[in-house]
Amino acid sequence: MAMTMPRLHRIDRLGALVSAVGAAAVVFLPFVVLKSNRIVPGDPRGLLEVLPMWAALACHATLILVAIVALGVSNARGRLAAALLGVVVVALAVAAAGNALTPAGNKVVRVAPGAGFWVLLVALGLMATDAITRLRPGPGMRVLLLVLFVAVAGLALAHGTFDNLSVMREYAVNAGRFAREARQHVLLALGSLAAAVIVALPLGILCHRVPRLRAGILGTLNLIQTIPAIALFGILMAPLGALAAAVPLAAKLGIRGIGAAPAVLALFLYSLLPVVANTVAGLKRVSPAAVEAARGMGMTARQILTGVELVLALPVILTGIRIVLVQNIGLVTIAALIGGGGLGVFVFQGIGQTAIDLVLLGAIPTVALAFSAAVLLDALVEIMDRTRQ
C-alpha cells in the first residue's frame, strides 16, 4: 500500500519561506491603505474588500498557484515565470484597487500600497532573484532581463496604469521638478565618480609603484571613509564658503558653502578609497612574469602600464567603480540636505510634511537606479574578466 503512494517531491526551503511570508501578508496585512488626504493616517483595506469578487478570487488563485510552484517545482525557468506572473498580478491588483477606491475626479483621496503589497512584492522578488541565480544567466542575458523589466515598468507608468496610486499622485504634482532632480541626481553621482576615477587611478598606480606611500595614502582615504556623510558636508561648508567669499571666480563657478559643490566634493572624497584600493589590488594581481617579459621584449614603461598592467587590472578596477557608483547613487540623496538637489529633495520634503508618498517618490527611483547600475557594471566586469583572463 505504502509503496504505491506517489513519492512527495522534496519541499523547496526558500519556497516554503516565501509562501509562508506571502500567505501571512495576504491574510494579516492590509493590501492598500485609503486616506482621505495625503497626510492623515489611512484605513487598511484587504483585497476582497476592494476588488470585485471575481478579480479578488483570480488574484488569490494566481498567488496560490505561484506558492505551489515555489514549494514543489525545481525547474528554475518555471519558478522565474511564476514569480514574474505573481509580480504582474500583484501590481495590476494594486493599480485596480487604486482605480476602484478613487472617486472619479477626486484629487484629494490617496490610495497607497499597504504593508501586504510590499511584503508580497519582496517575497516574489526573492523568489525571482533566486530563480535567476539558479539559471546562471550570462552577463548579456542579465542586462537583457533588466532592460525588459525597465521597459515593462516604463510602459505601464507611461500608460497611466498606476496613476490613481498615491506615489503617482505625488509625481503628477511634481512632474517638472522630478525630471530636473532626477537629472541632477544622476549628474552628481556620475560627476563625482568621474572626478574620483581621474584622481584615483594615478594615485593607485603610485601606491602600487611606491610601497612606502601605500599605507599613508590608503590610511588617509580610510579615515575619510569613516566620517559620516552629514558631518563631511558640514566640515566642507566652512572652507568652501570662505573660498567663495575670497575668490569671486570660484563663486561665479558655483562653488559655495552649500549647494552642489560641497556635495560633489564629499562624494568625490568618498569615492577615492574604493577606486584607489581596487587599482592597487588589480595591479598587484598582474603576473610579475608578464611584466618582466614585457620589459625584456623592449616595451616602454608607458606601453607596459597601458598595454599590460592596466588592461589586466581592469576587471578589479571596474569592481571598485561599481562599488562607488552604487554607493554614490545612494549618498546623493543626502546632498539635498545642503541644497545639492537630487531625488533626496523629495525624501526630505516628504519627511518634513509627514507625507510618506513623497518620500517614496524620491526613494523608489533611487533604489531602481542603484540596482540598475549594479546589474550593468557587474555584467561589464564579468565580460572583461572572461575575455581578458
Partner 1 sequence: MITVENLSKQYGATTVVDGVCMVIERNSITVIVGTSGSGKSTLLRMINRLVEPTGGRVLIDGNDTASEPAYLLRRRIGYAIQGHGLFPHRTVAENIATVPGLLGWDEARIRARVDQLLEVFQLDPGEFAEKFPHQLSGGQQQRVGVARALAAEPAVLLMDEPFGALDPIIRTKAQDDLLDIQRRFGTTIVLVTHDMDEAFRLGDHVAVMSQGRVLQYDRPAVLLTRPADPFVSRMTGSADRALRLLSLTTAGEAALPGASDGPAVAASASLRDVLSDLVWQGAESAAVVDADGTARGSLTIAAILAHGRPT
| 37: three-class secondary structure by DSSP | coil
Q: Side-chain half-sphere of 56: how many Cα atoms within 13 Å?
A: 13
Shortest distance, position 320 Cβ to partner 1, whole Å: 19
Shortest distance, position 203 Cβ to partner 1, whole Å: 24
Shortest distance, position 376 Cβ to partner 1, whole Å: 22
Considering beta carbons, is residue 160 or 307 the nearer one to partner 1?
Answer: 307
| 44: three-class secondary structure by DSSP | strand
Considering beta carbons, is residue 33 or 384 the nearer one to partner 1?
Answer: 384
Shortest distance, position 278 Cβ to partner 1, whole Å: 18
Shortest distance, position 298 Cβ to partner 1, whole Å: 4
Considering beta carbons, is residue 287 or 354 the nearer one to partner 1?
Answer: 287
Considering beta carbons, is residue 219 or 298 the nearer one to partner 1?
Answer: 298
| Cα 13 to chain centroid, rounded | 27
91 closest CA partner among 163, 172, 162: 162
Q: How far apart are CA 344 and CA 87, in angstroms?
A: 27
217, 203 contact by CB (below 8 A):
yes
- Which residues, including other chains, have CB under 8 Å from residue 254's CB and lie 6 or more apart? 260, 261
Shortest distance, position 31 Cβ to partner 1, whole Å: 53
38, 357 contact by CB (below 8 A):
yes
Considering beta carbons, is residue 106 or 287 the nearer one to partner 1?
Answer: 287
How many Cβ atoms are within 10 Å of 254's Cβ, its own excluded?
Answer: 11
| 32: three-class secondary structure by DSSP | strand
Considering beta carbons, is residue 211 or 228 the nearer one to partner 1?
Answer: 211
Considering beta carbons, is residue 16 or 311 the nearer one to partner 1?
Answer: 311
Positions touching partner 1 (CB under 8 A) are 287, 289-300, 303, 308, 311-312, 387-389
Shortest distance, position 285 Cβ to partner 1, whole Å: 11
178 closest CA partner among 361, 4, 363, 381: 361
- Give all strands of the β-sheet with 32-35 in edge-to-edge order: 43-45, 32-35, 110-113
Give 121-126's long-range contacts (Cβ < 8 A, gap of 24+): 121/87, 121/90, 122/21, 123/18, 123/21, 123/22, 123/25, 124/18, 124/22, 124/66, 124/83, 124/86, 124/87, 124/90, 125/83, 125/87, 126/14, 126/18
Shortest distance, position 323 Cβ to partner 1, whole Å: 23
Helix (H) or strand (E) holding 194: helix 166-209
134, 76 contact by CB (below 8 A):
yes
Shortest distance, position 214 Cβ to partner 1, whole Å: 23
Considering beta carbons, is residue 87 or 305 the nearer one to partner 1?
Answer: 305
348, 359 contact by CB (below 8 A):
no
97, 112 contact by CB (below 8 A):
no
Considering beta carbons, is residue 123 or 286 the nearer one to partner 1?
Answer: 286
